[in-house]
Amino acid sequence: MFKVKVYITLRENVLDPQGAAVKSSLHSMSYESVSDVRIGKYMELTIEKNNRDIDEIVKEMCERLLANTVIEDYRYEIEEVVAL
Amino acid sequence: MFKVKVYITLRENVLDPQGAAVKSSLHSMSYESVSDVRIGKYMELTIEKNNRDIDEIVKEMCERLLANTVIEDYRYEIEEVVAL
């Protein structure tokens, strides 16, 4: 079994209106030292072992469904969990 | 200047309909080995140095705005960036 953590972020040159809204809220709550906020997604997947390479599966799932690669970047961490 | 990464996840006993939808989509794309999907948020904040303790500021922002602590957990990483 694998525990996979996927981080999806907007590409650097893509506007982030949600981040801008959070930044403005933080300013209005007097956290003026916050100069930038970018909001992305974080996913935790549990994947059972099968005959395909786990790295290949995760990459393919990111490209095909989890991330919109036109505007988003992704990175992931795979950890194998051994059942006792 | 500090770069802060905030990870917000749903508490374990809270239902995640978005995760369930993604899992079902992955199954229909024949990734049947995916047994669980949990979706959270990932935020990158840039915070200028000021006279308050950075750890205290970030914790306070998470509690007051970024996370809904009734249903969400949060954790964060703080990295100091030194301007050259």
State the CATH number of the domain containing residue B17.
Answer: 3.30.1280.10
Q: Say what percent of chain A tops pLDDT 70.
A: 99
Measured in degrees and rounded to the nearest 5, phi and psi for residue A24 equal -65, -40
Q: What's the pLDDT score for residue A37? A: 97
pLDDT recorded at residue A5: 97
- Structure confidence at residue A82 (pLDDT): 86
A25 in any annotated domain: no
Inform me whether the pLDDT recorded for B26 exceeds 90.
yes
CB contact under 8 A, B22 and A65: yes
Indicate the number of domains in chain B.
1
pLDDT at B17 over 90: yes
Compute the distance between CA of residue A59 and CA of residue A56 in angstroms, rounded to an integer.
5
What local confidence, expressed as pLDDT, does residue B24 receive? 97
pLDDT at B83: 73
Instruction: Indicate if the pLDDT at residue A84 is higher than 90.
Output: no
The ipTM assigned to this model is 0.87
Angstroms from B71 CA to nearest CA on chain A: 16
pLDDT classification of B19: cutoffs 50, 70, 90:
very high
Neighboring chain A residues of B65 at a CB cutoff of 8 Å: 22, 25-26, 29
Instruction: Calculate how close chain B gets to A17, using CA atoms only, in Å.
Output: 13
Confidence at residue A83, expressed as pLDDT on a 0 to 100 scale = 73
Mean pLDDT over the full length of chain A: 95
Whether residue A73 is predicted with pLDDT greater than 90 in this model: the reply is: yes
Q: For residue A35, list chain B residues with Cβ-Cβ distance below 8 A.
A: 1, 46-48
Please report whether residue A28 resides in a domain: no
* Sequence-ordered alpha helix ranges (H) in B1-84: 17-28, 54-61
Q: Which of A40, A43, A46 is nearest to A79 (CA)?
A: A46
> Residue A79 half-sphere exposure, CB side, CA atoms within 13 Å?
10
Does A73 fall in a domain? yes
- Domain containing A69 equals 2-14+40-80
